[in-house]
């Protein structure tokens, strides 16, 4: 079983000026450092959790053809959704939970047929995705 967080945002390093006002040089580097996958915050500020860039290639190569059970977790560690994938396609939805661990409607997706309910981190329904024989048939987006 693979456990992942939902949001992945690239982090880049851009050119920067290093040194004093009299003796400064520009370091001209453009590179991706990693992917933001979560935040940790408190009353005075916070930190960003970053997946280092050397894992990105592995993640991308694995994703399109992944077959198996995937558990998507909240930052708290509670399960958000569990699904079975076949060749990178949601195949069967096992569960959906809100952040407090209470079950939410999961849809009817089983063996590549039916609906998959997608919720945001606040527990609001944002999409209903319909599959027919493992192929995407319809996506309803809610605002």
DSSP secondary structure string, 50-62? EEEGGGHHHHHHH
Q: Are residues 48 and 100 in the same domain?
A: no
- Asked whether the predicted pLDDT for residue 6 surpasses 70, the reply is no
DSSP state of 103: B
Return d(Cα 101, Cα 20) in angstroms, integer. Answer: 53
Does the global pTM surpass 0.85?
no
Whether residue 79 is found in the same domain as residue 113? yes
32 lies in the same domain as 94: no
Q: Are residues 133 and 73 in the same domain?
A: yes
Alpha-carbon gap, residue 137 to 131, rounded angstroms: 5
Single out the residue in 64, 89, 113 at which a domain terminates. Answer: 64
| Residue 31: both structure tokens together | 């590179």
pLDDT digits 0-9 by tens, 44-64: 777 777 777 666 656 655 666
Examine the domain organization and report whether 94 and 57 are in the same domain.
Answer: no
Q: Give the number of domains in the chain.
A: 2
Domain holding 30, by residue range, is 1-64
């Amino acid at each position: 079983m693979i456990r992942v967080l939902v949001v992945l945002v690239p982090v880049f390093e851009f050119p920067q000026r290093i040194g004093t006002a009299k003796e400064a040089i520009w370091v001209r580097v453009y590179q991706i450092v990693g992917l933001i996958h979560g935040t940790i915050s408190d009353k005075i500020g916070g930190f960003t959790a970053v997946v280092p860039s050397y894992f990105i290639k592995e993640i991308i190569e694995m994703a399109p053809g992944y077959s198996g059970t995937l558990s998507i977790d909240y930052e708290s560690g509670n399960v958000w959704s569990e699904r079975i994938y076949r060749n990178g396609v949601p195949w069967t939805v096992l569960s959906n939970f809100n952040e407090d661990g209470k079950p939410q409607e999961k849809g009817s997706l089983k063996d590549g047929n039916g609906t998959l309910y997608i919720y945001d981190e606040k527990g609001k329904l944002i999409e209903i995705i319909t599959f027919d024989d493992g192929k995407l048939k319809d996506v309803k987006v809610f605002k």
